[in-house]
Amino acid sequence: MGAPLLSPGWAARAAGRRSYVLLAPFLLTLLLVRPSGALVEGLYCGTRDCYEVLGVSRSAGKAEIARAYRQLARRYHPDRYRPEPGDEGPGRTPQSAEEAFLLVATAYETLKDEETRKDYDYMLDHPEEYYSHYYHYYSRRLAPKVDVRVVILVSVCAISVFQFFSWWNSYNKAISYLATVPKYRIQATEIAKQQGLLKKAKEKGKNKKSKEEIRDEEENIIKNIIKSKIDIKGGYQKPQICDLLLFQIILAPFHLCSYIVWYCRWIYNFNIKGKEYGEEERLYIIRKSMKMSKSQFDSLEDHQKETFLKRELWIKENYEVYKQEQEEELKKKLANDPRWKRYRRWMKNEGPGRLTFVDD
């Protein structure tokens, strides 16, 4: 039997596969090829040696490099350059003088910094490490000029200032609200009358006061009395400098050591020696059981904390009973709440996702 006949399409595909096989090593060679010399375009002074551009040796010091740069900068500055007779330097025209000036400036920027100069000398001595030179060059050029520590410090200070003014605003709002509550306003007014502060506000003296000014002054007196007599706790308490983020970071090691000491004492006194809990420890266990932060727990009324202690809620079984009672009480309140009844009626009759023709 003769050899099987091959179609022209199959022959074309075979020729294409052979061309891909021959082309792949060539493309791989192009990707892996590296320049034979250390000086390449795009890095530092390009194909020119930065030392030769400034006319100094590799052992030159900073003072010699700076002196050479000033001389060449004055010579090739585009606004001051005048070609000298027989000058065969790079600046024969204003355009070439500008290019020479930029090259001199680049050489000086490369050699004046110790770290950059170290990278440049390493590139001259190890021209084969092509990609490493590119990495070091662009990592230094793209690195932020400002110290990261300075940025972090400024950011923390800005956040602390914002915290301080925000807390003062919340505190003033709390005082303004308490001044409208009859319970606190009546007490503050009685104290102001006893101290004679309201009479002083109404005294006319040499400068006559309008009714609005007298009212504003009396309001400020009542607010000041509330500030001094009422201890506001929780999120609206009076701002303390030690609570700011900046001071919290500074005092973080101290707080960490204090917590470690407190925890070790807790383990030793209550887990090892078996001592009874004090009032502070009992309130701490109750707060942890309720999953409340310290500021939230401190904002509770004193009679609530006394109730917690009377019911011995630091004991797990007692707290579970209390929690179940609170849930049952909440269910009863919701059952008697008209808004909750309307909501349950709506969920039963219509509910979310149902299409109706009721306008309301």
pLDDT at residue 157 in the model: 92
Q: Comparing C-alpha atoms, which of 144, 148, 74, 67 is closest to residue 112? A: 67
Mean pLDDT per 10-residue segment, the chain (360 residues): 42 46 44 52 83 90 91 81 55 67 89 88 84 78 72 90 88 84 83 76 60 80 80 66 87 92 91 88 90 80 88 90 89 78 66 45
CB 245 within 8 A of CB 160: yes
Q: Which amino acid is at 278?
A: G
For 13, other C-beta atoms within 10 Å of its C-beta total: 11
Amino acid at 164: F
Q: Could you give the CA distance from residue 309 to residue 303 in angstroms, rounded to a whole number?
A: 10
Structure tokens at 31: 């990707």
Task: Give the Cα separation of 284 and 263 in Å (integer).
Answer: 13
Length in residues, the chain: 360
Q: pTM of the predicted model, to two decimals?
A: 0.46
Predicted confidence at residue 85, as pLDDT, reads: 53
Q: Cβ of 103: how many Cβ atoms within 10 Å? A: 20
Cβ(247)–Cβ(196) below 8 Å: no
Q: Which two structure tokens, joined as six digits, stand for 230?
A: 């009422």
Q: Are 82 and 89 in contact (CB under 8 A)?
A: no
